[in-house]
């Protein structure tokens, strides 16, 4: 679990390849999404963040369009001590606005990993 980007009150923890994938985005996307993650670290909700459907409360996505492509970063604020960035991806769904099933399943798997990490690291359940 990569841990850095301690900008606000809570550090960011990156699950799986989320950080590496995020850093492959175009620089303007990284800048805007980084700003949104920084707002989350201070307990706020950036205007471009919206609830991620299917995982219940406390999971959000930030969506940025750039040069005809759409990029997303999914994170959770469910945990008291840390914000987990679960997934970062370029949307490539062939079916319009619907998110590809693989990306939805990735978020679900990584949310479970985040829960396990949090319990091991902080000794408390969500």
With contact defined as beta carbons under 8 Å apart, do 59 and 43 qualify? no
pLDDT of residue 54: 81
pLDDT of residue 88: 97
Q: What is the CATH architecture of 2-122?
A: 2-Layer Sandwich (3.30)
pLDDT of residue 122: 87
- Contacts of residue 108, defined as CB under 8 A and 6 or more positions apart, other chains included, come to 54, 55
pLDDT of residue 46: 95
The torsion angle over the Cα atoms of residues 77, 83, 87 and 90, rounded to 10 degrees, is 90
Phi, psi (deg, nearest 5) at residue 81:
-100, -15
For residues 69 and 116, what is the distance between their CA atoms, to the nearest angstrom?
Answer: 33
With contact defined as beta carbons under 8 Å apart, do 112 and 78 qualify? no
For residue 53 the two structure tokens come to 């459907």
Element (H, E) at 109: helix 101-122
Phi-psi category of residue 111: left, alpha or beta, with phi > 0 → left and psi -120 to 50 → alpha: alpha
**Mean pLDDT in order along the chain per 10 residues (126 residues):** 62 96 98 95 93 90 94 95 96 70 93 95 76
Q: Hey, where are the domains in the chain?
A: 2-122
For residues 87 and 49, what is the distance between their CA atoms, to the nearest angstrom?
Answer: 14
């Amino acid at each position: 679990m990569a841990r850095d980007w301690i900008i606000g009150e809570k550090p960011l923890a990156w699950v799986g390849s989320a950080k590496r994938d995020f850093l492959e985005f175009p620089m303007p996307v990284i800048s805007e999404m980084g700003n949104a993650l920084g707002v989350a670290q201070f307990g706020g909700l950036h205007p471009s963040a919206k609830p991620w459907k299917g995982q219940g409360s406390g999971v959000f996505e930030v969506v940025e369009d750039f040069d005809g492509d759409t990029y997303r970063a999914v994170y959770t604020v469910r945990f008291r001590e840390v914000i987990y960035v679960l997934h970062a991806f370029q949307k490539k769904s062939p079916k319009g606005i619907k998110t590809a099933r693989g990306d939805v399943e990735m978020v679900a798997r990584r949310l479970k990993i985040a829960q396990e990490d949090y319990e091991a690291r902080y000794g408390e359940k969500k």
